[in-house]
Structure 1
Amino acid sequence: MTDTAAMQALARLVPPGSRVLDLGCGNGAMLDYLQRERGCSGYGVEIDDANVLACVQRGVDVIQLNLDEGLA
């Protein structure tokens, strides 16, 4: 299965207009796809600097955070 086919398959499971929290969102491709194709809104959470930058460049709202450490 290609990345595009996987994104399409996952997106079909998300109701249109949903609010999404994408934990470990990587470069934001999935959240970007959900926003464009399913009318979703939401945030990504990512730790890696390069991936956070990729999200911002895609127009995906992202929070840079280490999920293992939380907000403490």
Structure 2
Amino acid sequence: MNEYDKKGYLLQGFRVFRLKDAALQEIPFHYHDFHKIILFLGGEASYIIEGRTYPLKPRDILFVSAGEI
């Protein structure tokens, strides 16, 4: 087993959902076995993909490939 946890599941061809959290805590490194598209609507956050940090600005779009940490 690797050192990172697999998160989430996808039973359909795709899934759309919205997350809103004013006090979002740091999320441990993990991966998914599906691709993700993230539209950052606002606030202050950064996203780390494969060790590279991306500071987010409102309306940024992230594409995360399956299996990326």
Q: TM-score of the superposition, structure 2-length normalised?
A: 0.30
By percentage of residues, which structure has more helix? Answer: 1
By percentage of residues, which structure has more strand? Answer: 2
Q: TM-score of the superposition, structure 1-length normalised?
A: 0.29
**Higher RCO (CA < 8 A, seq sep 6+):** 2
